[in-house]
Structure 1
Amino acid sequence: MSGNLLHVNATVTCPHGAPATVLPAQSRVLLNGQPASAIADLHTVTGCPFNISGKPQPCVTIRWVVPSTRIRINGSPAVLQSSVGLCQSPEQVPQGPPNITVVQQRVVGQ
């Protein structure tokens, strides 16, 4: 599966619309002047409004389960626009896949 590589300022949201941010683990590999995103990076979600029966269950992290199969950044698989991930609650309960809407358009990987 191929797709455009994500960088730290790509637009990613949880299934409930809250924005995700990336704390990059490296700064050497750049896409449009911004660090490329890999599964070693910390992907956090802030402001998720999701709750179950009145108990807050916000998405707080994204765990990428199907990253790039060929591209590695400092030994860690890169994250592509076509990558599959799971947003997780503080208890690590899967909340659904993240939505990737805006990425750079120049570098494509597999």
Structure 2
Amino acid sequence: MTYQSSTGRRANAAREVLSSASTVRCPHGGRVLPGPERPHAVRVAGAAVLTVAETLAVSGCPWTVNGVPRPCRTVRWADPGPGGVRVGGAAVVLAGAAGQCYGADLAPQGPPTVVPGGRRGAECR
């Protein structure tokens, strides 16, 4: 897939579109879980495309502070602003997009990481 911005210019580098099949981890190794199944979602290779409108859950984060468990619980992605690919008005999450993991108290705990070699879908160029 080739993406052309609303200004008519092509982006310089291909970026993977993240989907429910992408492997994403919190900064401490916890697994970011796909959201609830959306029957009308846009799909890439059968998997629902992720958008910045979604808050995703984190499972298995081992993070502790002074011996007290403070695991990551959720991930939110930043909206890149105008332009770009959108689904239902929400920006599609691309590999390398700004995101933040949060604890149960909503304290920021670091950015999520897309694990290379996960199932790939479409790319935006």
What's the TM-score, normalizing by structure 2? Answer: 0.77
1:104 has 2:104 as partner: no
Deviation at 1:40, TM superposition (A): 1.8
SS of residue in 2 equivalent to 1:22: coil
Partner of 1:13: 25
Instruction: Identify the residue that residue 3 of structure 1 maps to in structure 2.
Output: 15
Please report how far the alpha carbon of residue 35 of structure 1 lies from its aligned counterpart in structure 2 after TM superposition.
Answer: 0.8
Uncovered stretches (5+) of structure 1, i.e. residues with no partner: none
User: Which of 1 and 2 has greater Rg?
Assistant: 2
User: Which of 24, 30, 45 is matched with 1:32 structurally?
Assistant: 45
Alignment correspondent of 2:97: 83
Distance apart, 1:109 and its partner CA:
2.5
* Structure 1 residue 42, shift from structure 2 partner: 3.0
Q: CA 1:73–1:5 in 2, change beyond 3 Å: closer, same or farther?
A: same
Matched residues in 2 for 1:71 and 1:80: separation?
A: 9
| Alignment root-mean-square deviation, CA | 2.1
Paired residue total? 109
CA contact under 8 A between 2:52 and 2:79: conserved in structure 1? no
Query: How far apart are residue 67 of structure 1 and its match?
Result: 4.4
Question: In percent, how many aligned pairs have the same letter?
Answer: 31
Aligned residue in 1 for 2:62: 49
CA distance in 2, matches of 1:81, 1:88: 19
1:20-53 deviation per Cα after TM superposition (whole angstroms, max 9, x unaligned): 1121574331100111111122311011110100
Q: Distance in 1 between matches of 2:31 and 2:72?
A: 10
Flag structure 2 segments of 5+ consecutive residues without an equivalent. 1-10
Aligned residue type for 2:123: V
Q: Which amino acid aligns with 1:48?
A: C
- Conserved in 2, the CA contact under 8 Å of 1:59 and 1:89? yes
Q: 1:58-103 deviations in whole A, cap 9, x for unaligned?
A: 0000011254751111111111111111111001111111110125
- Greater fraction of residues in strand: 1
Say whether the 8 Å CA contact 1:24–1:42 is kept in structure 2.
no
